[in-house]
Structure 1
Amino acid sequence: MSNRHTISQTSPDARRGITVDLLNRGAAIGRIQLHGMGRQRDIDVVLGYASTEDYDRDPFYLGSTVGPVANRIADGKVALASGTFSIGINEPSRSNALHGGELGLHQQLFQPSPTSDAQSLTLSRQLPHLSDGFPGNRLVTVRYELTDATSLQCDFAATTDRETVINLANHAYFNLGGRLADHEFRTHLEHFTPVNEQSIPIGTIASLVGSELDFRQWRRLGDSVLDHNFVLRKDNKLQKAASLRLHDTQLQLDVLTTQPALQVYTGDGLTAPFSARAGICLEAQAFPDAPNQPGFPSIVLTPGRTYRQRTIYRFTELSDH
């Protein structure tokens, strides 16, 4: 069984194209290569390792599907009707379970579907009851599809045989071909969730207006340190959440999603073989610590229902004007 799979798509006039490498481990994105776009004409816009084996020791969730519950859970505690469940704390300095804990999806081997084609791939993973601390025998599925020569669509799905919690996201680090400080960033959102010293939301939703996080208009990232959750509309319809652009390479990335929130992380914790702030994560997901925050949208999944979320990474070329 191959550990790396490639999907690709070319425009009808063959002038543009996109090639994406996908990995079994973590159902991860290993490469997004753009062809015929921007000044470099051929560029990989996500951080990745040189070999598949390097992902076995990856501490940064590079390109991975993170979960079963992405982001942070305070004290690793999840309270459900059937009881309270403990998830391994893997952010000890803050006493949090992060991205599913030590046994999260980022270190799980997914099974590729034998029915994949040149433009799409489906990867799935069975999670036994309590194998990672979370309840339920669960089936997690991630489908990647190149809907055209400039767009990667990610569809997340999950089912369970007993009440559990699910919050899936992708953790790719994007860089459009230059210093992160020179990238410009814009959210298409109005609110965020303030956090305490442990980076856990305090339970309120605040306006971006007048805050350091007010990226409602294009702003250069500069030395801004972001690891914050931005709030989307509550209608679960596909909407544009944020955009990233770099004039030096004439490239722009738009993130569209059905998820209720977007965690933006400027990669300040990256170390060798990368450098701090080598890329930015735009993690479409549910709210952090949702199981312990009654005022936040629920991430509870019950038997007979299917969790479904969609995120699209769409690339465009900037004009010279």
Structure 2
Amino acid sequence: MMEGKLSEDAVRQCMKAYSRKLDLEGTEVHEITLENRAGMKVTALDFGCIITGIYAPDRHGNFKNVVLSYENPDDYLSNPAYFGALIGRTSGRIKDGTFTLSGETFNLALNYGTNSGQGGREGFDKKRYSFSVNTSESMAAMVFRRTSPHLEEGYPGNLQIAVSYSLSEENVFKISYKAVSDSDTIVNLTNHSYFNLSGDFSRSIENHLLMIASDHYAELDDTSAPTGKLIETKGTPFDFNSMKEIGRDIADEDSQLFIGKGYDHPFVLKEGTGVKARLWDRETGRFMEISTDNRALVLYSQNYAQGQVIAGGFTLPERVSAALEVQRLPIGKDGIFLEDSILKQGETFRSNTEYRFGIL
């Protein structure tokens, strides 16, 4: 294992790991690639831990990138929709940008209207990370590390984080998070990749079939922050316990769909092991199964576009991808769900999520 550099021995392993340098408006960035013997690849930057590519095969053996990426890599510096980025210290919105911890109140930047969102004005998605890689005959991984200083974006504690992206020979992509703080703080990390398993980001995501193992979702107020109420999914447009098209109920007259202009809600995942979500594109046969030890998953049906020019050279339309953000529940009014994100001094935050790719 070598910090910031890939060894020749690592490259010669059955699992491949290699990198290239990118110049993003004068900033030198590394894009690291993991590749297995079947030809599946994962690419990510040491800026924002941004996943720039997940190349998976279809039923005819054709590999395509199934996550949103930019045509011009310079655009990752601004990246307003957080394509592929690590989100932290906390993901989602924090109501009114304030929370109280250990008797002290902390005020965060209000960068999402009246709320704080996705870690603040310059969250973890805008930071540089050291990286290391390791490979074996059955696995390749890249590990990103950084220390977030006390009161960065208003959050207490010096927080040491490590984020691991690994790829197996069985086409399983795994994200593992680890964090330790020298004082009580809050942490809620996620990855903000946008998926379209067809690999064609001119095609609507509404035709993809989705399953989410969830009996309740979090109600949002008119600022898209949780109210604290959990609503049963059964009998609502939010029931994805059986596979259904994302677009089947998205236009229903439901006040929660109106708030999000579609799906932009945390689902409380069922307890226990097993697959917690499944996404499937019938045309190409590609599917993705998500297993995790996290409590929640935010489904965002990419209800907005901000004029981004994506790979292929065309302007991003709305609803051609879906983000499946595995995380804790976001923090609502009066600190609702705050306990889900508390990390005590000296304790270790750990979280693991696996994405298994296959063909049906």
Q: Same fold (TM over 0.5)?
A: yes
The aligned residue for residue 284 of structure 2 is: 249
SS at match of 1:240: coil
Query: RMSD of the TM alignment (CA)?
Result: 1.8
CA distance in 1, matches of 2:282, 2:352: 28
SS in 2 for 1:54: helix
> How much has 1:270 moved relative to structure 2?
2.1
Of 100, 103, 115, 2:122 maps to 103
Equivalent residue number for residue 216 of structure 2: 191
Tell me the secondary structure at the aligned position of residue 17 of structure 1. Answer: coil
Once the two structures are superposed, what CA deviation does each residue of 1:82-103 show, in whole Å capped at 9, x if it has no partner? 51111111112xx111111112
Look up the match of 1:117.
135
Corresponding letter in the other structure for 1:44: N
3-state secondary structure, aligned to 1:132:
helix
Match of 1:277 among 319, 323, 335: 319
- What is the rounded CA distance, in whole Å, between the counterparts of 2:282 and 2:145 in structure 1? 38
Any stretches of 5+ residues in structure 1 without a counterpart? 11-15
Aligned match of 2:269 in 222, 232, 242?
Answer: 232
Alpha-carbon deviation of 1:314? 0.9
User: Aligned to 1:193, what secondary structure does the other structure show?
Assistant: strand
264, 269, 275: which one pairs with 2:299?
264
Offset at residue 78 of structure 1 (A): 1.6
Relative to the length of structure 1, the TM-score reads 0.90
Would you say the 8 A contact 1:154–1:312 is kept in 2? yes
In 2, are the aligned partners of 1:239 and 1:258 still within 8 Å (CA)? Answer: no
Query: Unmatched 5+ residue regions in structure 2?
Result: 5-20, 22-29, 251-261, 310-315
| Counterpart amino acid of residue 218 in structure 2 | T
- Structure 2 counterpart of 1:241, one-letter code: K
Query: Partner residue of 2:35?
Result: 8
Matched residue SS, 1:6: strand
Residue 296 of structure 1: how far off its partner (Å): 6.2
Q: What secondary structure, in the 3-state scheme, does the structure 1 residue paired with 2:228 have?
A: coil
Contact 2:329–2:337, Cα closer than 8 Å, also in 1 = no
Question: 2: CA distance between counterparts of 1:251 and 1:292?
Answer: 42
Question: What is residue 22 of structure 1 aligned with on the other side?
Answer: 44
Q: Which residue of 1 aligns with 2:159?
A: 138
The 1:69–1:311 alpha-carbon spacing in structure 2 relative to 1, beyond 3 Å, is same
Paired with 1:110 and 1:4, the residues of 2 have a C-alpha distance of 12
Q: Distance in 2 between matches of 1:290 and 1:65?
A: 21
Contact 2:267 2:298 in 1 (8 A): yes
Q: Which has the higher mean CA deviation after the structures are superposed, 262-271 or 164-173?
A: 262-271
Q: Say which SS state the counterpart of residue 190 (structure 1) adopts.
A: strand
Count, aligned residues: 307
Q: Partner amino acid for 1:190?
A: D
Q: Decide which moves more: 117-126 or 53-62.
A: 117-126
> Shift in Å at residue 292 of structure 1?
4.3
**Cα distance 1:66–1:291, how it changes in 2: closer, same or farther (>3 A)?**
farther
Give matches, 1:278-293, under 5 Å: 278-289=320-331, 292-293=334-335
C-alpha contact (below 8 Å) 1:270/1:278 kept by paired residues: no
Contact 1:230 1:263 in 2 (8 A): yes
Which one is further off, 303-312 or 264-273? 264-273
| Matched residue, 2:206 | 181
Partner of 2:71: 50
- Structure with bigger helix share is 2
For 1:265 and 1:300, how far apart are their aligned partners in 2? 24
1:306 deviates by 0.6
Q: C-alpha displacement at 1:295, in angstroms?
A: 5.5
Matched residue of 2:237: which SS? coil
- Within the candidate set 185, 188, 198, 1:164 is matched to 185
1:311 maps to 353
Aligned-pair identity (%) = 28
Call closer, same or farther: CA 1:153–1:295 in 2, change over 3 Å.
Answer: closer
Spell out structure 1 runs of 4+ moving beyond 4 A: 294-297
Conserved? CA contact 2:161–2:177, under 8 Å: yes
**TM-superposition CA deviations, 1:200-232 (whole Å, max 9, x none):** 111122210111111111111226221011002
